[in-house]
């Protein structure tokens, strides 16, 4: 019984110490693009303003504001591609 409790405590300790990056990458790899973008767009370090904007706009498009961004000249396919490239190059291929 003691081993089971120790394992549960260790597992909780490992889960509690995941970084935002770890959580976002895990969501991204599991296919939860919107959830991952929600975290990635909050990053203040490691991204240029342009990279952060690409991620934020892609998140906004997935959150129901796609028509607004299309209206002001953004192309959904391009936004998706560019945001995914930023995430893959900055966080996934480390």
**Residue 59: its pLDDT value, please?**
96
Q: What is the mean pLDDT of the chain?
A: 87
What's the structural domain count of the chain? 1
Q: Is residue 10 part of a domain?
A: no
Helix residue ranges per DSSP H, the chain: 2-16, 20-30, 33-40, 49-60, 66-71, 76-87
Residue 10 has pLDDT above 90, yes or no: no
Q: Answer whether residue 63 is part of any domain.
A: yes
Evaluate whether residue 60 is within a structural domain.
yes
Q: Are 33 and 62 in contact (CB under 8 A)?
A: yes
Residues of the domain holding 54: 20-92
Judge whether 84 lies within some domain. Answer: yes
User: Using one digit for the tens of pLDDT, what is the confidence trace for 65-92?
Assistant: 999 999 999 999 999 999 999 999 999 8
Task: Judge whether 58 lies within some domain.
Answer: yes
What does the pLDDT look like over 29-79, one tens digit per residue?
999 999 999 999 999 888 999 999 999 999 999 999 999 999 999 999 999
Structural domain contains residue 66: yes
The answer to whether position 54 is within a domain reads yes
- Is residue 3 pLDDT above 80, yes or no? no
Per-residue burial over 52-77, b if 16 or more Cβ lie within 10 Å, else e, is bbbbebbbbbbeeebeebeeeebeee
**In a domain? residue 3:** no
């Amino acid at each position: 019984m003691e081993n089971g409790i120790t394992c549960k405590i260790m597992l909780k300790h490992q889960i509690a110490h995941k970084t935002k990056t770890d959580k976002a990458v895990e969501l991204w790899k599991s296919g939860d693009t919107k959830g991952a973008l929600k975290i990635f767009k909050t990053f203040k370090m490691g991204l240029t303003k342009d990279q952060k904007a690409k991620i934020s706009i892609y998140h906004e498009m997935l959150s129901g504001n796609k028509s607004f961004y299309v209206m002001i000249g953004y192309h959904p396919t391009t936004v998706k591609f560019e945001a995914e490239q930023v995430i893959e190059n900055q966080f996934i291929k480390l």
